[in-house]
Amino acid sequence: MSTSTVSPGFDEAALVARAKAGDADAFSELVTQYDRRVFRMAKQITQNEEDAEDVLQETFLKAYSHLDDFQGNSRFYTWLVRIAVNEALMKLRKRRSDKTVPLDEPIDTGEDEMVREVAVWDENPEQKYSRDELAEILDQAVQSLKPAYRTVFVLRDIEELSIEETAEALNLSISAVKSRLLRARLQLREKLTRQFKRKGDDAFGYL
- With bands split at pLDDT 50, 70 and 90, how would you rate the model's confidence at 109? very low
How open is the CA angle 162-167-173, to the nearest 5 degrees?
Answer: 130
Q: Positive or negative CA dihedral for 120, 122, 123, 126?
A: positive
- Angle of helix 24-46 relative to helix 49-65, nearest 10 degrees, comes to 140
* Domain spanning 12-95: CATH 1.10.1740.10: yes
Judged by DSSP in three states, 126 sits in helix
Per-domain residue ranges for the chain?
12-95, 111-198
- With bands split at pLDDT 50, 70 and 90, how would you rate the model's confidence at 121? very low
- Calculate the alpha carbon distances from 205 to 123, 125, 126, 175 in Å: 7, 7, 10, 26
**Does residue 200 carry a pLDDT above 60?**
no
Which top CATH class is 111-198? mainly alpha
- With bands split at pLDDT 50, 70 and 90, how would you rate the model's confidence at 137? confident
How far apart (Å, rounded) are the C-alpha atoms in residues 56 and 49? 10
Task: Check: CB of residue 183 under 8 Å from CB of residue 149.
Answer: yes
How many C-beta atoms surround the C-beta of residue 86 within 10 A?
17
Task: Give the number of C-alpha atoms closer than 13 A to the C-alpha of residue 160, restricted to the C-beta side.
Answer: 7
**Does residue 84 carry a pLDDT above 50?**
yes
Task: Check: CB of residue 14 under 8 Å from CB of residue 72.
Answer: no
pLDDT in tens, 37-62: 999 999 999 988 999 999 999 999 99
Mean pLDDT across the chain: 79
- Calculate the alpha carbon distances from 140 to 71, 89, 173, 203 in Å: 38, 19, 28, 18
How far apart (Å, rounded) are the C-alpha atoms in residues 119 and 197? 9
